[in-house]
């Protein structure tokens, strides 16, 4: 206990139980809390029927009323909880809720306790907001809960977004026929009667013309020879040609052939076949149709 010093701020602490109210009035001297006075009273019969929120509000009102000389204008009342009434349904016909109006300095602490609770499990923004709204209230509550939830380290590290945003696809500019050509290799397949095991597909972006060739092997020199003798000789040298990241397409002889023919060679991103979606889709159609023209031993049908 100590005498009050009116040059220092005062602090009023209040508390309530099911049978009575308690107040403690004090100050801080040399980083130590000193009590100036303490008091309390018993709840009457009607006040004992108050719910927890109403009892908390009552303790604050009684505490200020008793020590108003010290706390008026000092902004030093602790655990004072105001009450906010709202209806859960439209047109004030739903269930009635009583919420505690939370001061600014306690809002993040309340959110953290609710977020880290064992039964909560770091729920999403709507669920954690609905859980807090049944007990607490402050202006801009939903917005602040969303900001705190997005800045939660555990949620960011251990939860992946359900719907990822994808960059919109843009049309590829093509100036004319065989201006841009893409290549794909299918196989290996079971060896046919003509000893072929692979299918090479050339696809023109402008005309959608597709040419396919059966090969016994898909070495880099065979692909370069096929590109020169079957495509360039008959259609001219394309401005650019698109390959995947197969080793035969990355070989030096293929790159040198493209350089000599003044053709820019491009490669798709690894494990992203949909970048070359046109030829990949046609390849699936081609394989499906070819299965209708072979017998059960994977040999060509005759007759």
pLDDT of residue 94: 47
Mean predicted confidence (pLDDT) in 278-295: 79
Q: Is residue 227 part of a domain?
A: yes
CB count in 10 Å sphere of residue 180: 21
State the Rg of the chain over Cα. Answer: 39
Q: Are residues 217 and 270 in the same domain?
A: yes
C-alpha torsion angle, residues 90, 93, 99, 101 (rounded to 10): 60
Give phi and psi for 272, each to the nearest 5: -130, 70
262: left (phi over 0), alpha (psi -120 to 50) or beta: left
Q: Which of 52, 51, 62 is nearest to 24 (CA)?
A: 62
Mean predicted confidence (pLDDT) in 243-248: 84
Q: Are residues 5 and 56 in the same domain?
A: yes
Q: Are residues 43 and 8 in the same domain?
A: yes
State which of 30, 50, 80 marks the end of a domain.
Answer: 80
* pLDDT per position as a tens digit, 187-205: 888 888 888 889 999 999 8
Residue carrying structure tokens 């072929």: 196
Average pLDDT, the chain: 79
* pLDDT per position as a tens digit, 57-87: 788 778 878 877 776 665 455 544 444 445 4
State which of 92, 127, 160 marks the end of a domain.
Answer: 160
Q: Are residues 92 and 71 in the same domain?
A: no
Q: Which of 229, 274, 270, 221 is nearest to 249 (CA)?
A: 221
pLDDT of residue 202: 92
Helix axes 125-133, 141-150, angle to 10 degrees: 140
B/e letters for 50-89, b = 16+ CB within 10 Å, e = fewer, are: eeebebbbbbbebbbebbeebbeeeeebeebbeeeeeeee
State which of 64, 80, 96 marks the end of a domain.
Answer: 80
Q: Is residue 166 part of a domain?
A: no
Q: Is residue 300 part of a domain?
A: no
pLDDT of residue 296: 58
Q: Is residue 303 part of a domain?
A: no
Domain of 191, CATH number, reads: 3.30.420.10
Q: Cα(238)–Cα(178) distance, rounded to whole angstroms?
A: 5
Query: Strand 82-87's sheet: what is its strand order?
Result: 82-87, 96-101, 136-137
Mean predicted confidence (pLDDT) in 105-133: 78
Q: Is residue 174 part of a domain?
A: no
Q: Are residues 7 and 61 in the same domain?
A: yes
Q: Are residues 196 and 264 in the same domain?
A: yes
Query: Does 168 have pLDDT greater than 70?
Result: yes
Q: Are residues 65 and 151 in the same domain?
A: no
Q: Are residues 283 and 184 in the same domain?
A: yes
Split into its structural domains, the chain has a count of 3
Domain of 127, CATH number, reads: 1.10.340.70
What count of residues does the chain have?
A: 303
Q: Is residue 153 part of a domain?
A: yes
Query: Does 92 have pLDDT greater than 50?
Result: no
Q: Are residues 221 and 280 in the same domain?
A: yes
Segments forming the whole domain that contains residue 14: 1-80
Q: Are residues 217 and 280 in the same domain?
A: yes
pLDDT of residue 119: 61
Q: Are residues 245 and 286 in the same domain?
A: yes
Q: Are residues 96 and 32 in the same domain?
A: no
Domain of 4, CATH number, reads: 3.10.20.370
């Amino acid at each position: 206990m100590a005498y009050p010093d009116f040059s220092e701020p005062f602090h009023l602490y209040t508390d309530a139980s099911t049978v009575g109210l308690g107040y403690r009035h004090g100050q801080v001297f040399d980083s130590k809390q000193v009590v100036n006075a303490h008091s309390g009273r018993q709840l009457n019969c009607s006040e004992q029927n108050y719910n927890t929120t109403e009892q908390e509000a009552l303790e604050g009102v009684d505490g200020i009323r008793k020590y108003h000389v010290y706390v008026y204008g000092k902004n030093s009342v602790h655990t004072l909880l105001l009450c906010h009434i709202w209806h859960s349904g439209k047109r004030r016909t739903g269930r009635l809720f009583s919420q505690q109006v939370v001061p600014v300095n306690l809002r993040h602490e309340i959110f953290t306790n609710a977020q880290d609770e064992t039964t909560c499990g770091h729920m999403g923004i709507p669920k954690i907001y609905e859980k807090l709204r049944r007990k607490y209230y402050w202006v801009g509550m939903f917005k602040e809960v969303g900001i705190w939830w997005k800045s939660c380290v555990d949620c960011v590290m251990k939860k992946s977004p359900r719907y990822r945003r994808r960059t919109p696809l843009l049309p590829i500019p093509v100036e004319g026929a065989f201006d841009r050509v893409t290549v794909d290799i299918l196989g290996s397949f079971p060896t046919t009667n003509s000893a072929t095991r692979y299918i090479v597909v050339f696809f023109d972006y402008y005309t959608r013309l597709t040419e396919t060739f059966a090969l016994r092997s898909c070495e880099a020199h065979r692909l370069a020879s096929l590109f020169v003798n079957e495509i360039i000789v008959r259609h001219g040298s394309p401005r650019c040609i698109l390959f995947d990241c197969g080793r035969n397409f990355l070989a030096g002889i293929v790159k040198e052939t493209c350089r000599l023919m003044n053709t820019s060679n491009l490669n798709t991103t690894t494990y992203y076949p949909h970048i070359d979606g046109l030829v990949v889709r046609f390849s699936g159609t081609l394989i499906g149709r070819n299965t209708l023209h072979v017998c059960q031993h994977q040999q060509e049908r005759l007759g």
